[in-house]
Amino acid sequence: MSDLSREMKAFEEGALVVVSVGKKSWKMTLTPKDFGLEEFPKNFEPGRRRLLPDDALNRIDYLEGQARRAADKFAFNFGLQNTRVKHRWVQLSKLGLVLVTLDEIKANYFQAVSDLIEKYEEHKNKMKADFPDQWPFLEKAYIAKESIIDAYYFEFEVINMVFPSQMSAVKKFELQQADLAVLDREKAAAMTQQDLAKMRRDHQERLERILRQQQEMAVSRAEQFVENAVKQLRGKVVEVFQQITGKIKDGKSIIKTNLDTIRSTLHEVRQLDFIGDDAAFHAQLDRVQTLIDSGKEFRDDAAAVRELDAALQGAVAHINTTDEAAVKKAKQTYFGRRLNLAAA
């Protein structure tokens, strides 16, 4: 199996989810006239005025954040360069849950927008009453009520990652004079069949070079994605464990909420570990899991807290000292397993 076919197997276990949420800021930039000036000094950066009360927009803001958190919960970052939209890779086993959750949030989001539209005049009147001296400036910045819905959008899309090893349909393309005429009509009319044949050869060589580059990029992206996925899960463990050890260091009590956070993190990491991190890593997690499920009262038991602190710090130390080697091993094991499955 070619490197491309082998590496692209990584993407068959999930899909990219793209979430796009947009809203109106309901703020207007201050002008020089607001300050009695003809123009601002060069070192002056004006602020903005709010057009609606904060409580009129809080629900919409919250739901926007909830959508991104819902998409992030079961996702790995997929690093596409120079894009304004975040691409999240979600396992197929979790994709249904993510999509249903996003659809529910979308319905709530547009309900919140409808509520805003319904109370639009009420909100404007409140701003007029609260800021009568500013109203002449504010009033002209409001849009028509019927245009509000156009300022909001909420979309999510699933993108399957496919890059065939043989781009046969592309490779069969043969440049015709009609194609050239689209770009340069005069040059096409003057071109002989010999000229066209040469151009076709040049075109084919260039196309094959481009496809080789694209395949190399696909292989590199697949390998980098798997490495990042391992690091992301390990990083999640380190972040949470260090938060708890920090509390212990500061002499704060370890309460049920802290144990639930650890428990939730362990469950999440195991659920998302489609790559299969090494046994030593999971042994560290199992040690912590056994301890927090032991029934010990960590709030009042100093010895139990010391034991928990040692287990958490031991896991963090293990991750930090084995990270690079473990990531490399996990990647090799994962692609080796995918190769064997594909050949079976």
pLDDT of amino acid 82: 43
Q: Which range has the top average pLDDT, 21-30, 157-166, 319-328? A: 21-30
Cα gap 37→203, rounded to integer Å: 61
Three-state secondary-structure class, residue 52: coil
At 65, give phi and psi (nearest 5°): -65, -40
Q: Calculate mean pLDDT across residues 80-101.
A: 75
pLDDT in tens, 28-41: 877 777 666 777 77
The CATH number fitting domain 233-343, selected from 2.170.130, 1.20.120, 1.10.3470, 3.40.50: 1.20.120
- Which residues, listed in sequence order, are joined to residue 155 by a DSSP beta bridge? 20
Q: Calculate mean pLDDT across residues 28-55.
A: 75
For the chain, the farthest-separated pair of C-alpha atoms sits apart, in whole angstroms, at 91
Q: Residue 69 burial by CB count (10 A; 0-12/13-18/19+): exposed, middle or buried?
A: exposed
Cα gap 307→302, rounded to integer Å: 9
Whether residue 288 contacts residue 269, with contact meaning beta carbons closer than 8 Å, is answered with: no
Q: Which range has the top average pLDDT, 130-144, 201-215, 281-295? A: 281-295
Look-up of token digits 């500013």: 134
pLDDT category of residue 341 using cuts at 50, 70 and 90:
very low
Alpha helices by DSSP H, listed for 29-78, are 54-73
Cα gap 72→77, rounded to integer Å: 8
pLDDT of amino acid 173: 52
CA–CA distances in Å: residue 92 to residues 13, 16, 331: 6, 10, 20
Look-up of token digits 């849009």: 143
pLDDT of amino acid 163: 54
pLDDT of amino acid 118: 95
Average pLDDT value over all residues in the chain: 80
pLDDT of amino acid 343: 42
pLDDT of amino acid 180: 53
pLDDT at 257 over 90: yes
Domain ranges of the chain: 3-159, 169-208, 233-343
Cα gap 160→90, rounded to integer Å: 11
pLDDT of amino acid 321: 84
Identify the CA nearest to 331 among candidates 248, 258, 235, 223: 223
Cα gap 39→34, rounded to integer Å: 10
Three-state secondary-structure class, residue 321: helix
pLDDT of amino acid 344: 43
Lowest-confidence region among 208-217, 235-244, 264-273, 318-327: 208-217
Whether residue 28 contacts residue 49, with contact meaning beta carbons closer than 8 Å, is answered with: yes
Whether residue 98 contacts residue 17, with contact meaning beta carbons closer than 8 Å, is answered with: yes
Q: Which residue has the higher pLDDT, 343 or 199?
A: 199
- Which residues, listed in sequence order, are joined to residue 90 by a DSSP beta bridge? 15, 75
Look-up of token digits 């972040």: 239
